[in-house]
Chains A and B, each alone.
Chain A
Amino acid sequence: DTAVSQTPKYLVTQMGNDKSIKCEQNLGHDTMYWYKQDSKKFLKIMFSYNNKELIINETVPNRFSPKSPDKAHLNLHINSLELGDSAVYFCASSQDPLRGVNEQFFGPGTRLTVL
């Protein structure tokens, strides 16, 4: 009964490939996020969706495209992978950030290595 799950846990691929990471939450939360954590452990938000609608799109290359088929799922597709994309990607959800309930529940992370 994992609250926020991600697949795959590890992803090793060549430069130029396209890959996807999937995320699902069973907490009934309205808002989901994608974060990138680089080698220096800095956690930076990339995207946020609220009830399937994009609400945050930080400065991220347009090779990254999030998709939310329903409010329990938020997937991340990455085109033309580059070496600098190597990082750990975390999915997270929160209950109701507009009303100040924004504690983040994180998935286990996907370690992406681009060779």
Chain B
Amino acid sequence: QKEVEQNSGPLSVPEGAIASLNCTYSDRVSQSFFWYRQYSGKSPELIMSIYSNGDKEDGRFTAQLNKASQYVSLLIRDSQPSDSATYLCAVESGGSYIPTFGRGTSLIVHP
């Protein structure tokens, strides 16, 4: 059974701080990794995808992947109240078509 684990939170950070969201996965052959943001009452939207070990930066967001340790993380720099949402980690084995989602981490950025 493929599992994707996330701390449900809430993770509370002050405005302007770095928010660090973590995700671990059980399937060693996983190849594709995604972070989605879901505002309350809305649908998930893709923030970043990462496929190889290391860091990938996009604006204030950085995804970090460590396949040996089977974790992927998302850093949000200069956190804003508008970043308050649930962040879903999704992991997929190559060619499986099936992304497995974690339960999400609730992030609260307070002014």
User: B42 an interface residue at 8 Å Cβ cutoff?
Assistant: yes
Q: Give A18 Cβ to nearest chain B Cβ, in Å.
A: 25
Question: In the bound complex, do residue A104 and residue B99 qualify as a contact, i.e. CB atoms below 8 Å apart?
Answer: yes
Question: In the bound complex, do residue A103 and residue B86 qualify as a contact, i.e. CB atoms below 8 Å apart?
Answer: no
Q: Give B108 Cβ to nearest chain A Cβ, in Å.
A: 15
Question: In the bound complex, do residue A106 and residue B97 qualify as a contact, i.e. CB atoms below 8 Å apart?
Answer: no
Question: In the bound complex, do residue B44 and residue A100 qualify as a contact, i.e. CB atoms below 8 Å apart?
Answer: no
Question: In the bound complex, do residue B49 and residue A103 qualify as a contact, i.e. CB atoms below 8 Å apart?
Answer: yes
Question: In the bound complex, do residue B43 and residue A109 qualify as a contact, i.e. CB atoms below 8 Å apart?
Answer: yes
Q: A41-B86, A41-B104 are in contact. Are A104 and B44 (CB under 8 A)?
A: yes
- With both beta carbons as reference points, the residue of chain B lying nearest to A105 in the complex is identified as B46
- With both beta carbons as reference points, the residue of chain B lying nearest to A48 in the complex is identified as B97
How many residues of B sit at the interface, in one of the four size bands? 20 to 34
| Number of A residues with CB within 8 Å of any CB on chain B | 24
User: B63 an interface residue at 8 Å Cβ cutoff?
Assistant: no
- With both beta carbons as reference points, the residue of chain B lying nearest to A43 in the complex is identified as B101
Interface residues of B in 72-110 (CB under 8 A from A): 86, 88, 90, 92, 94-99, 101, 103-104
Q: How long is the Cα–Cα vector from A107 to B38 in the complex, in angstroms?
A: 12
User: Can you offer 19 A-B residue contacts whose CB atoms are under 8 A?
Assistant: A42-B103, A43-B44, A48-B97, A90-B43, A90-B44, A97-B95, A97-B96, A98-B95, A98-B97, A100-B94, A100-B95, A102-B34, A102-B92, A103-B46, A104-B36, A104-B46, A104-B90, A106-B45, A109-B43
